[in-house]
C-alpha cells in the first residue's frame, strides 16, 4: 500500500522514524516534507500536498504530523474528497477507518511517545473501512454536501 507522509518542524523527527518503520513493514512511502528541520516552517503546504497525493491514488492513505495534529488535520480536510481524522488513541485510529473511511490521519508528535505514535499510525493504516451501510450513508452525505458547493 502507498502511504503519503508530511510533517512540519514539530513532527519532523517522528516523520523520519515513522518513514523507516513503514518501509521496514513493506509500505511504499512518499514523503511530502518538510525535508529539513526549520522551526519557523508552516504545516499547511506540506499537509495539503500530502492530501492531494492521497486523493490522486486509489487506496492510498496519508499521515500528517505536527505538534498536536490539529492544524495538520484541518489542512488535509481542505482538499476536496479528503476525510482527515485526528488520531490520538487506539479507539480513534480504529474509528477513523472503520466508521469514517478516513484517508488521512493527523497525529500530534507532542502528544505521544515516538513508539506510541508509530503504533497509532500503523493501526490506522492496517484497519479497513467496515463498509457498514450506516457509515457509508453518512460519508455519502458529506460527499453530497461537498459536491453541492462546487
Task: Mark the binding-site residues for D-ribulose 5-phosphate, compressed into ranges.
Answer: 8-9, 67-71, 100, 110, 134, 138
Kindly state the number of chain residues that form the binding site for ligand 5RP, as judged by CB under 6 A: 9
Three cell numbers, residue 64:
500528517
Q: Which of 13, 17, 57, 99 is catalytic?
A: 99
67 binds ligand 5RP (CB under 6 A): yes
Q: Which stretch binds ligand 5RP (CB under 6 A): 23-31, 70-78, 88-96, 136-144?
A: 70-78
Closer residue to ligand 5RP, CB minimum distance, 29 or 71: 71
CB-side neighbour CA atoms (13 Å) of 109: 19
Helices assigned H by DSSP within 10-132: 12-24, 43-55, 70-77, 90-98, 114-126
Residue 68: C-alpha distances to residues 14, 55, 115, 125 (Å): 12, 23, 16, 19
User: Rounded to whole angstroms, how far apart are CA atoms 110 and 11?
Assistant: 8
8 binds ligand 5RP (CB under 6 A): yes
Cβ-count burial of 93 within 10 angstroms (0-12 exposed, 13-18 middle, 19+ buried)? buried
The correct pick among 43, 51, 61, 123 for binding ligand 5RP (CB under 6 A) is 43
Closer residue to ligand 5RP, CB minimum distance, 27 or 83: 83
Does residue 99 have an active-site annotation?
yes
The correct pick among 34, 48, 68, 85 for binding ligand 5RP (CB under 6 A) is 68
Does residue 17 have an active-site annotation?
no
Residue 26: C-alpha distances to residues 20, 94, 107, 128 (Å): 10, 21, 21, 17
Contact residues toward ligand 5RP (CB under 6 A) are 8, 10, 43, 66-68, 70-72
Amino acid at each position: 500500500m502507498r502511504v503519503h507522509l508530511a510533517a512540519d518542524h514539530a513532527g519532523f523527527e517522528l516523520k523520519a522514524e515513522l518513514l523507516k518503520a513503514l518501509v521496514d513493514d513493506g509500505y511504499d512511502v512518499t514523503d511530502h516534507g518538510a525535508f529539513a528541520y526549520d522551526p519557523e516552517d508552516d504545516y499547511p503546504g506540506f499537509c495539503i500536498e500530502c492530501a492531494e497525493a492521497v486523493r490522486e491514488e486509489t487506496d492510498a492513505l496519508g499521515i500528517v504530523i505536527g505538534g498536536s495534529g490539529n492544524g495538520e488535520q484541518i489542512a488535509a480536510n481542505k482538499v476536496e474528497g479528503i476525510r482527515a481524522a485526528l488520531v490520538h488513541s487506539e479507539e480513534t485510529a480504529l474509528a477513523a477507518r472503520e466508521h469514517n473511511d478516513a484517508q488521512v490521519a493527523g497525529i500530534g508528535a507532542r502528544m505521544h511517545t515516538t513508539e506510541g505514535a508509530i503504533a497509532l499510525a500503523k493501526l490506522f493504516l492496517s484497519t479497513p473501512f467496515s463498509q457498514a451501510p450506516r457509515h457509508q450513508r453518512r460519508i455519502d452525505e458529506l460527499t453530497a454536501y461537498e459536491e453541492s458547493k462546487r
